[in-house]
Amino acid sequence: MADRGDLDRAGLGLGLKALSRGERVLLAGIALFLLFLGTFIHAGIAADRAEHATAANRALASRLTLTDLALFTEARYTRNLSQADLHAAFQDHPGALEHFPTGALVGPPHRDPHAAASLAPETTLSR
Amino acid sequence: MPPHPWLQRQRYLVDFTVGALGRRKGRNLALVAVYALIVFVLASVLLFSQALRHEAATLLSGAPEVTVQRLVAGRHDLIPGTYLERLGKVRGVTDARGRLWGYYYDPVVAANYTLLVSPDDPPPAGKIRVGSTLATTRGLGVGDVLSLRGHDGQPYAFTVDATLSPDSALLTADLILVNEQDFRAFFGIPTGLYTDLILTVPNPREVTKVAEKVLRALPDTRPIVREEILRTYAALFDWREGMVMVLLSGAVLAFIIFAWDKASGLSAEERREIGVLKAIGWETSDVMAMKLWEGLLISVFAFLLGYLAAYVHVFGLAAALFGPVLKGWSVLYPDFQLSPHVEAFQVFTLFFLTVFPYALATVVPVWRAAIADPDAVMRL
């Protein structure tokens, strides 16, 4: 096994072996901290890079007069959340519990592509 | 130039602390790993929610200033175009237009589509432009025909004129753009009726006033201002973030108990160590500084490792672990990449809440042991 002298002579030790254990831990901490600061710089650069696409999307939303994100397309009252009458207790018919709040907890339905197509609207949550 | 004596002293203390931690390597590494895992989970949820909230706020900042819906028996109904004239006269409104949009449930893929009349540059008659997610789900390309069942039960064949850019999927995943004549014929909506009306109000300070005036002039309407739309999304992601946090709170509490127990209770071995240090001449302040270093090293390393892993997880791996819960899901789900957005204040809050309690919890019991007589401490 190469001793410290060998490593230093070979330039492989990078001088780290000359440091005490505490100093090496501190150096590792500083490296992690620099990476931590790097996340802020990376976020800034990535946001700048995405600015073109973001501006295009913002213009598209404005041109098409879009009011909502296409995140929850499973039901008409969740697709355009800001336009839906969420103040109504039951969305589909009296007694029909609206299922939006549970949408985050229930997994997507396992759909069989060969199964007969259902004609009932808004039944995508049923398993 | 030799380093400042204080710095030199801290360097020796760190050396000693790292050595002491190394003697219980397995236990301390496990502690850092669990600690970092907790920070990772909390930071992932925080970073993802921040980015999603920021994305929604940025994209929807171009939404109409005021949308006016008509309510009949408490439900959204079609609104007559005659309302436009009255709304156009409200002071502060520079433009009032009717908007036509609706939903179509497609049993083939068990998903809802949103049909929207493109306000400018509409597709020619019989042609549609479709969102990229919809096009992928239905396997549609330019020139393909999409047949949908109209309000009268008759099939309507639309030719795909273009697909919308995948970059806009967050807005247009399920969108079908049609022209006004096709839309009215397909849904059976007579001329002169709209889904809702949109008002342009250039002065942001007038928007609320305009909404109040609309409500007074047309009591059967519901004006929705842009601020409400933005608040809806902020609240939505807050709620989801909160829900994930509630689910995680059990694990977080378990960790707090574990860390508190580890940090605030001293083992017999640690007591003996403090006694020996005191006996060989260490000051109480030295012992406390050493233990403070121990707490800081563990908690700061755990924080940095956990936060960095969370950053890579959220922005590099698209939050593979929590994405479905935070984003929601549906058959037609937009495939989008969030651009990183980090709020320094929230990260600092996370740092403060995860690092300081642990570091401080290590000091109190040490102070109690360190002020005691070394002989008594060693005999315990």
Check whether residue A48 and residue A84 sit in a common domain. Answer: no
Residues A79 and A123 grouped into a single domain:
yes
Task: Give the global pTM.
Answer: 0.78
Domain holding A53, by residue range, is 4-62
Q: What percent of chain B has pLDDT over 90?
A: 41
Residue A125 lies in a domain: yes
Model pLDDT for residues B89-124, shown as the tens digit of each residue:
899 999 999 999 999 988 888 888 999 999 888 999
- Give B24-74 pLDDT, tens digit per residue: 888 889 989 999 999 999 999 889 888 888 888 988 888 899 999 999 888
Residues B143, B160 contacting (CB under 8 angstroms) = yes
The predicted pLDDT at position B70 comes to: 93
Per-residue model confidence (pLDDT) at position B275: 81
pLDDT at residue A107 in the model: 45
- In-domain check, residue A13: yes
Residue in B170, B177, B175, B176 with CA at minimum distance from that of residue B334: B170
What pLDDT shows up at residue A15?
67
Complex ipTM, two decimals? 0.73
Residues A12 and A52 in one domain: yes
| A94–chain B Cβ distance below 8 A for any pair | no
In a domain, A81, yes or no: yes
The C-alpha atoms of residue A15 and residue A17 are separated, in whole angstroms, by: 5
Residues A71 and A56 in one domain: no
- For A61, the closest of B63, B107, B131 (CB atoms) is B63
Question: Closest approach of chain B CAs to the CA of A15, in angstroms?
Answer: 17
A77/B contact by beta carbon, under 8 A: no
How many Å apart are CA B61 and CA A67, to the nearest integer?
Answer: 9
- Residue identified by tokens 């790993």 is B33
Using a CB–CB cutoff of 8 Å, tell me whether A91 touches chain B: no
Q: What is the mean pLDDT of chain B?
A: 87
CA atoms of B331 and B329, how far apart (whole Å): 7
Q: Do the domain assignments include residue A28?
A: yes
Alpha helical stretches, state H, chain B: 5-23, 25-59, 82-88, 132-138, 169-172, 180-187, 207-217, 226-264, 268-279, 284-311, 323-327, 344-370, 374-379
Q: Are residues A76 and A126 in the same domain?
A: yes
Exposed e or buried b per residue across A10-47, where buried means at least 16 C-beta atoms within 10 angstroms of its C-beta: eeeeeeeeeeeebeebbeebeebeeebeebeeebeebb
* Interval B320-335 mean pLDDT: 74
On whether any CB of chain B is under 8 Å from the CB of A113, the answer is no
**Substitution target from B45, B112, B354 for chain A, most A beta carbons within 10 A:** B112
Number of domains in chain A: 2
Same domain, yes or no: A54 and A74? no
CB B261 within 8 A of CB B107: no
| Within a domain: A33 | yes
Same domain for A123 and A82: yes
Q: Are residues A23 and A47 in the same domain?
A: yes
Write b or e for each residue in B32-59: b if 16 or more Cβ atoms lie within 10 A of its Cβ, otherwise e: bebbbbbbbbbbbbbbbbbbbbbbbbbb
A-chain residues near B119 (CB < 8 A): 63-65
pLDDT of residue A87: 59
Judge whether residue B301 has pLDDT over 90: yes
Q: Is residue A112 part of a domain?
A: no
Residue predicted with more confidence, B319 or A111: B319
Which residues in chain B have their CB less than 8 angstroms from residue A82's CB?
Answer: 224, 228-229, 232-233
Is residue B19's pLDDT more than 60? yes
Q: Which domains does chain B have, with CATH numbers?
A: 5-60+232-379 (no CATH), 64-225 (2.40.40.20)
B161-175, B176-190, B271-285, B318-332: the lowest-pLDDT one: B318-332
Q: What is the pLDDT of residue B74?
A: 80
Which of B136, B139, B131, B186 is CA-nearest to residue B158?
A: B186
| Per-residue pLDDT at B27 | 84
Judge whether residue B194 has pLDDT over 90. yes
Looking at the structure, tell me whether residues A57 and A90 fall in a common domain. no
In a domain, A113, yes or no: no
If pLDDT is split at 50, 70 and 90, which confidence band does B360 have? Answer: confident
Contact of A107 with chain B, judged by CB distance below 8 Å, is answered with yes
CB contact under 8 A, B105 and A42: no
pLDDT of residue B1: 63
Q: Which structure tokens are listed for A22?
A: 């505490």
Q: Quick one: pLDDT at residue B289?
A: 86
CA distance B262 to B299: 13
* Closest CB to A21 among B19, B103, B105: B19
| Same-domain check for residues A9 and A36 | yes
Does one domain contain both A71 and A126?
yes
Per-residue pLDDT of chain A (127 residues; tens, 9 = 90+): 445 445 454 444 556 677 788 888 889 999 999 999 999 999 999 988 888 888 998 999 988 989 888 877 777 777 777 777 665 555 555 554 545 554 454 444 445 444 444 333 333 333 3
Is the domain of A31 the same as that of A12?
A: yes
Q: How far apart are CA B197 and CA B199, in angstroms?
A: 7
Closest CB to B341 among A43, A53, A64: A43
Q: Chain A 5-64, CB below 8 Å of chain B: which residues?
A: 20-23, 25-26, 28-29, 32-33, 35-36, 39-40, 42-43, 46-47, 49-50, 53-54, 56-64
Over residues B70-88, the pLDDT tens digits come to 998 888 899 999 999 999 9
Cα separation, B84 vs B93, whole angstroms: 11
Say how far apart CA B20 and CA B289 lie, in whole Å: 13
